[in-house]
Amino acid sequence: MRLLLILPLLAVAIAQKRSYDGHQVLRVGPLDDESYFVLRDLQMTSNALDFWTEPAPGRTTDINIPAEGLASVKGWLEEKGVSYTIMIEDLGPLSESNGIKKLEDFVPKLGSKYAMDWDDYHDHDTLNDFIAALADANDFASIIPIGESYEGRKMNVLAITKAGPGAPNIWLEAGIHAREWISPAVATFIVRELVEDYAEHPSYIDNINWYFLPSANPDGYEYSHNQDRYWRKNRAPNAGSSCYGTDLNRNWAFHWAETGVSFDPCSEVYCGAAAFDQPESANIRDFVLTLDPVPVLGHTFHSYSQLWLWPYGYDYGAYPENYKEVQQLAIDASDALFQVHGTVFDPINSADLYPAAGASDDWYKSIGCRYAFTTELRDTGHYGFELPKAQIIPSGEEMWAGFEVVIDRVQQAIAEEKAKKNL
């Protein structure tokens, strides 16, 4: 059986909101070297299957498959000797389990400062409204517009600059993959804790400037609300193709397009025609390069898999000069995170999971960030991208604990640098 025969069955044109009724998510593996190469080749050369997690040796990979292709895919996996189990029996009901609260529907309550809460997932406008409210309420904070998305949505950064010019900077980015709704939810939870609970940890803001982008892919994020729940890319058209979107986390100019990408515009991991050819990634690049000094930390939030990833991810064995320091910080942060709710995060090198070039965290490290991380938030696959909204706050609480370890290490590094200069 050749899987190519089922590709027409799996091509779905989206004229209205896409239904996932009858779709199954299969958990394939754990993969040995042979089955890894089979699936990796399939992912890179076809658009038949929606890979929710990337194939990697020794690990499982989760694949979303339409009902009409299930029998063919299962038969093909069996023919190749690749094991699988059914992770989600019917994706349809689960895909409708989480809704999005829109800013336009917000009814102000007595004492409310903003529409944002962490009992629900929220739209792009609410994210921007939230950071604007923090800026309005604090004289050490402001909003910096860094540009617009392809469809004209505002990409606004919250700047927390009480520490002042010359102080160390931290850069936080969330939501670069549209369907990963928990990413901006947890990132905003952390920023709320940072700002509104200032009195509990004043040094975090007194000594460090923070810059936060809550929605790095606003068009894709909105599209995942209104049209296709599992849309991953941005929404820019591709010349010569009827397929839309570039994977913004394969579009950065550090070893761009070398590994783990596709040059097919219809692919979920399409890297674009050139590095930074997308407005969203170019906007972020242009802004981050204005920060002086270079951020000591560049951090990006993703989901799912419960991983604390450290660079580089573009190839096996490609480690930064201070990789032992970065690795140990990932381990320590994951240990602190575990103490909150017993959630296990695996602190590993990105390429040891799977090589993929052109990711934002690799670029952050390449421009001189001392630390650069990607966190893959809850869960490990029971819900996948449909993490129940009841888990937003617990996920934020544990991530904050991990972040405190990182911030403390950043402050220690600052003190060490000052001590060297005074010798």
In whole angstroms, give the CA distance from residue 85 to residue 62.
Answer: 10
Known catalytic residue: 280? Answer: no
Query: How many Å apart are CA 307 and CA 85, to the nearest integer?
Result: 22
- Cα separation, 17 vs 280, in Å, equals 24
Q: For residue 216, what are the contacts with CB-CB under 8 A and spacing of at least 6?
A: 155, 173, 174, 175, 176, 248, 280, 284
Q: Which of 376, 386, 397, 398 is catalytic?
A: 376
231: exposed, middle or buried (Cβ count in 10 Å: 0-12, 13-18, 19+)? buried
Q: CA 326, CA 403: separation in Å to the nearest integer?
A: 14
Please give the Cα distance from 423 to 409 (Å, whole number): 21
Phi-psi region of 26 (alpha: psi -120 to 50; beta: other; left: phi over 0): beta
Residue 383 · residue 274 · CB < 8 Å: no
Contact yes or no for 281/251 (Cβ under 8 A): yes
**Which residues are known to be catalytic?**
376
